[in-house]
Structure 1
C-alpha cells in the first residue's frame, strides 16, 4: 500500500511539469490515467532515444512510470461523455493548457464540478489564470528571465548563463502542483469540499530571490552579477583543476573557510574571510593554487576535512558510479512495460517513507496503450470502441 493509494487522478498535462508531478504521485501509490491527443506529438514523451527492442522512448518510460494512458480527441462530444464518466471516480484533475482552453472544451472546473462536486482541479500554467501575461506562451528560460532571477545570475562579462536544468518546470511547476493537490486532498478530508488550484511556474520563481529579494524589498539596492555571496562575489564558486575538471567550493562558514584555506596551503586568506573587499584578487590566488593539482589529488587532500568542497561530476559519474547516489537509491532498475524480462535504469523519486516505501512497478507504456482497457471498464462494448475509433474520438494503440 502506497502513501497515496486510493487517490485517483486524471492527467491532461504534456511536456515535463505536469507529467513529472503525476510521476511522483503515481510512485507514491496514486492511480493515474494520462489523457493524450491521438493526433498530436508530445516533444518530451517522444524525445529520443528509444529503448532498444521497444517501441517506447526513455523519457516516456520514465515519465509514464506507474501510469495508464488513454487516447482521446477532447474536441468531440463522445470524449466529453467518457471524461464525465471517469470524473465520477477519478476526482482529481491536473491540466496544463492555457487559461480558458479546458472551459471551451467543456472540461473546466465548473463543468466537472457539476458532475462531481468534490473534484480537486489543478491548473498548471506559465503565468497563472489571471494578470496581463496569463495567455502568453513561455518556457523555463522565459520565466527565469521575467522573474528577475537571471538579471544577477551568470558572469559580469557574458551575462546570464543557461543551466540545462528545468528550474521553473520541475522546481516550481511539478512540486507546487503536488503541494497544492495534497493540500486540497487534506482539506477535502476535513470538510468534504473540493476546490480549484491555480499554479503558475512564474509565480513560484519569485521566492527564488530568497535573501537577495528580502533585502532589496527593504533597502532598494539591486543585486549585481558576481557581487553577492552566492553569485560569484565571494569565494563560493567553481574552480578549475590541473586536469580540466572542476571543484565546487562552498566554504562559507568560518570553520569551513579556515579548513579550506589550510588544505590549499593559503592560511593567510583565513583572516580575509570568504568575502573580502579584494575578492577578485583572493579568488585569483585560489584559482592558481587549485590549477596546480588534478581533481583526484585535491579530493584526496579534502577527504574528511569538513570543507564543503565537492567535485563537478559528469553524468556517468553521478548517475552510474557515485556511491552515495547508489546508497540513496536515486537511480533504480525498473521493469520495462509490456516486455518479459527487460529492465531499464531510471531516476527514482527522492522521497524516503519508512512505512510505505516507493514502489516502482513498471515503466511507462507507449501513449494510448490502455485506451481499450479503460473504455471497456467504463462499459463500452467492442462495437462501441470500434465506432469511437472510426469517428476519430479515440485511437487504439498498435505496435
Structure 2
C-alpha cells in the first residue's frame, strides 16, 4: 500500500508529538508499506538526515520536505507563532501533495501530526482515502477543578473554551471533517465535538504509545530509603495536574512516613508548584528534577514505584506509555486520552467530572495506596502495566489502524 503521511512534527529520538510522528511512519514502513512522509523541513530535516547517515532508514520510507517560502519554522517553544506557521504550512502543502499524487498515486493520505481537532489538515479531497487523526482537544477542564488555578491558568482555559467553540464554525475545520473518510479521536469528549452528521465516521481510538517493555524496576526499599517512590513527568503547566498530584502526596504522607515524590519537567508554572508544595508542607519530600533528557528518562522510571499523572486534558500523553513500558502502574484522571489508556489491570483512572479538587486528591491518594498495599499486589499491577504496554506498542497500533481504517471501504 502507498501511504502519504502528513507529519508536521516528526523527529527521531524525540518524545511527545515529534517522537510519535517518527515512530509511526517508521513502523508502517517496516510493515511493508511504501510510506512518503511530508514534514516541516526547517524544523526536522537536519535531525532526520543525521539519523539517516548514522543509522539508515527503513527501506520503504522516504521524506519530502515542505517549507513556507521565506518563513522557516519558529521552533516549538514559541507556541503562538508556531500555530500560525502550522496553519500556513498546511494550506501551502496541499498543492505539493496533489503534485506528488499525480506523479505516483497514493492509496491513503493520513494526517498524523499535529493531533488537535481544531488544527485541521488541508489534504482531504485529493482522491485517496483520507484519514484524519487520532486527534484530541475537545476536552474541557471541569469547572470545579479550576479552583486554585494560577491567574494564567484561568485565562488560558477561557481562551481554550472559546477556541473550541469557534472551531465548530471554522470553515477549515468543517471542510477537513467533511472530506475525511475516517475521523479518529482520542476520547469521547472530542467525539462529541464532531458535528452529529459526521459521527458515523468518527471513531475513538487510543493514541498513547509505549516503547519496548523493559524489565528494570526499583528494588524493594531498604534501610532509610523511601518506602514508596512516586513520579510525575511532564511540562510544568497547571493543566498537567501536578498541583493535584501534590495534594494527593500530602494525603499519602499520613499513611506512608517514608515517601518520596519526584517531579520531572520544567515550565511556566514551576514557581506556582513550588508554592503549592510549601503550602501543603511537602516541600521536604518533593524533588523538582527539572528537564530530564529523553534518553535519561528510562533510569528515572526504573527508580520509582508508581506514575502519578492527573492531567486535565491530555489527548495523548506518551509519558503514560513510557511509564507502562517500565512496569510502573499509572494513576491518572478519567479525562482525555489518559482515561482510555489506563485500565484496572495497570492502574487507576480516577473520576473527575463534577468533583472538587480535594475529593479528586483524596481518590488519587487512595488509588496509589490500593496499588501499593503490599508487595504481591504491586507486582500484579507491574505485570499488568507490562501487558498494557505491549498492547500500546507502535507495531500493534499501526497494524490495527491500517487493517481497520486504511482497508475499510
User: TM-score normalised by the shorter chain: which range applies?
Assistant: 0.3 to 0.5
Which protein, 1 or 2, shows the higher relative CO under an 8 Å CA cutoff with sep ≥ 6?
1
Max Rg structure: 1
